[in-house]
A and B are shown apart, each in its own frame.
Chain A
Amino acid sequence: MNKFGFAIKTPRSEDMDKVSLERYNMLLDRVPSFKRCFQCGCCSATCSARQYTEFSIRRIHTSFRRGEYEGLDEQLKKCMLCGKCTLVCPRGVNLRSLIINMRQILDETK
């Protein structure tokens, strides 16, 4: 029965005391250029996949940065590795390499 639509929800907040940034730190070691990202969103703005779906590479790598890895492996499958994001990034982040390495790290640490 779900008359009123109430449900008990787990709190949706980032708890920086509980998250583990181990995978994020692995990513920084493998793709040091990601340290420079200043969250401008050029990468997701240019992305063809972003235009028609919910897929946002900027949001994905920000989640990774905050230690929120849930569901990222599924989302990352939507990337076609076309490399347009790498071309536009004003801080010279190697996004294609970032994407491949995010996939690999999520796979290795499953």
Chain B
Amino acid sequence: MRKVAIIGAGPAGIEAASTLAKNGIEVTLFEKSETPLKNIQDKAFLFPNFQAAQEIADDLSGKLLTDGITTAFGVDIADIKWQGTEWKLIDAKNQTYVADAVLVATGYQVFDAHRKEELGYGIYKGVITSLDMEQMIKHGKILNANGDEPKRVTFLQCVGSRDEKSGNHYCSKICCVTAVKQAIEVRKQLPKCEASIFYMDLRMWGQGFEEMYRTAQEKYGVSFVRGRISEAAATFDGRVQLKSEDTLMGLPLKMTTDLLVLMVGMEASCGTKELGKACDISGDYGFIKSVNPHLYDNETGKPGLFVAGTCKRPMSVSDSINDARSAAIAIKDYLDTLPQ
């Protein structure tokens, strides 16, 4: 029987594993954490339908029970090598595994907001990231730096994306709609708290996203200001003062807020960067480069080495899952071409 190794048990890795296993292919799924789906478990509700992230995680975990899947959690794959007819995977403890084909699904990590010092993350307690906000929403505890209910929450888009200074010219694609999602959640949980979003463009590309933006304005009274916050400073009472330009008025704008939420971008995860380098399939910004974005988007140009999900570029959960299914088909086609 043919054997496939999948690296990364996020939505992409799990979906590909279950699709391949259902087609009679033996799969080993490697995950460096002790548990799968950590980038789903740390979210509260998922756009576009506000479904509980836990529900999606449970459904995906259920797929791991498909016959033919072996899981290897707590295994960090450090290197992979082509041996002429098969791939050898080497983990951080120097153990090796072999497979006919490998799928890299090593995902993303968020931009480290400390790098934008002028925004005060890690310096002022009132400055948090979108991931911190997911946790607050999840636990129903949206609190300011003093532990009180905030009166105003302000979101800033494009932190670590579309920014020469961070070295990331690209758009992270999911943070515009995530800010709208979180602002709605803030208004649902704290109807007396104001919510504002500072943006350069609102990129509402997906089905239902534009409607969500409209609902945020109409039903939840979220306000939108076009302008990028240039800097944040602390006030004596533990709040955050921010400076921006209201570009639609052509005037500078000052505002004090209880919480400033930095919408951090998606970068290639450490695993993605390292494996990309190790087998020479790294593209821009350390994401893995496919052969062709139209027709060969799961192929890497190396025999039997495939790629799916956010290790390639920023994507939503549904896009990662669809991409994983298409990778499974590409892998199956490849295995069929191998001599019996």
Binding site for B on A (CB under 8 A): 12-17, 32, 35-39, 59, 62-63, 65-66, 68, 91
> Are B214 and A36 in contact, CB atoms less than 8 angstroms apart?
yes
Q: Which of B218, B221, B248, B253 lies in contact with A16, CB distance below 8 A?
A: B253
CA distance A17 to B256 in the complex (A): 6
Pick 6 A–B contacts, CB within 8 A, sort by A.
A13-B252, A32-B218, A35-B221, A38-B217, A62-B248, A62-B249
CA distance A17 to B217 in the complex (A): 21
Q: Which of B213, B214, B218, B254 lies in contact with A15, CB distance below 8 A?
A: B254
> Are B251 and A12 in contact, CB atoms less than 8 angstroms apart?
yes
B246 proximal to A (CB < 8 A): yes
> Are B221 and A39 in contact, CB atoms less than 8 angstroms apart?
no
Q: How far is the CB of B203 from chain A (nearest CB, A)?
A: 13
> Are A14 and B217 in contact, CB atoms less than 8 angstroms apart?
no
Return the CB mask of B114-137 against A: 1 if under 8 Å, else 0.
000000000000000000000000
Q: How far is the CB of A57 from chain B (nearest CB, A)?
A: 13
User: Whose C-beta in chain A lies nearest to the C-beta of B217?
Assistant: A35
Q: How far is the CB of B76 from chain A (nearest CB, A)?
A: 46
> Are B249 and A14 in contact, CB atoms less than 8 angstroms apart?
yes
User: Whose C-beta in chain B lies nearest to the C-beta of A25?
Assistant: B221
CA distance A36 to B254 in the complex (A): 24
Q: Which of B226, B251, B253, B255 lies in contact with A39, CB distance below 8 A?
A: B226
> Are A14 and B246 in contact, CB atoms less than 8 angstroms apart?
yes
Return the CB mask of B239-268 against A: 1 if under 8 Å, else 0.
000000010110111111000000000000
Q: How far is the CB of A92 from chain B (nearest CB, A)?
A: 10
Q: How far is the CB of A61 from chain B (nearest CB, A)?
A: 11
Q: A36 with B217: in contact, given A15-B254, A17-B256 (CB under 8 Å)? A: yes
Q: How far is the CB of B236 from chain A (nearest CB, A)?
A: 14
CA distance A77 to B218 in the complex (A): 28
Most B C-beta atoms less than 10 A away, residue of A16, A36, A38, A62: A16
> Are B254 and A16 in contact, CB atoms less than 8 angstroms apart?
yes
Q: A16 with B255: in contact, given A35-B221, A62-B248 (CB under 8 Å)? A: yes
Q: How far is the CB of A54 from chain B (nearest CB, A)?
A: 13
> Are B255 and A17 in contact, CB atoms less than 8 angstroms apart?
yes
CA distance A16 to B252 in the complex (A): 11
CA distance A64 to B152 in the complex (A): 20
Q: How far is the CB of B234 from chain A (nearest CB, A)?
A: 15
CA distance A62 to B255 in the complex (A): 17
CA distance A63 to B254 in the complex (A): 15
Chain B residues positioned under 8 Å from A68 (CB to CB): 249
Closest 3 A/B residue pairs (Cβ):
A16-B255, A13-B252, A14-B253
Q: How far is the CB of B306 from chain A (nearest CB, A)?
A: 41
User: Whose C-beta in chain A lies nearest to the C-beta of B253?
Assistant: A14
> Are A39 and B248 in contact, CB atoms less than 8 angstroms apart?
yes
Q: How far is the CB of B60 from chain A (nearest CB, A)?
A: 35
Q: Which of B218, B251, B255 lies in contact with A35, CB distance below 8 A?
A: B218
> Are B253 and A13 in contact, CB atoms less than 8 angstroms apart?
yes
Q: A13 with B221: in contact, given A59-B249, A62-B249, A63-B249 (CB under 8 Å)? A: no
Q: Which of B218, B224, B251 lies in contact with A13, CB distance below 8 A?
A: B251
Told that A14-B246, A38-B224 touch, could you supply 4 new A-B pairs with CB distance under 8 A? A14-B254, A16-B253, A37-B217, A38-B213
CA distance A91 to B218 in the complex (A): 11
Chain A residues positioned under 8 Å from B249 (CB to CB): 14, 59, 62-63, 66, 68
CA distance A64 to B254 in the complex (A): 17
Chain B residues positioned under 8 Å from A63 (CB to CB): 249
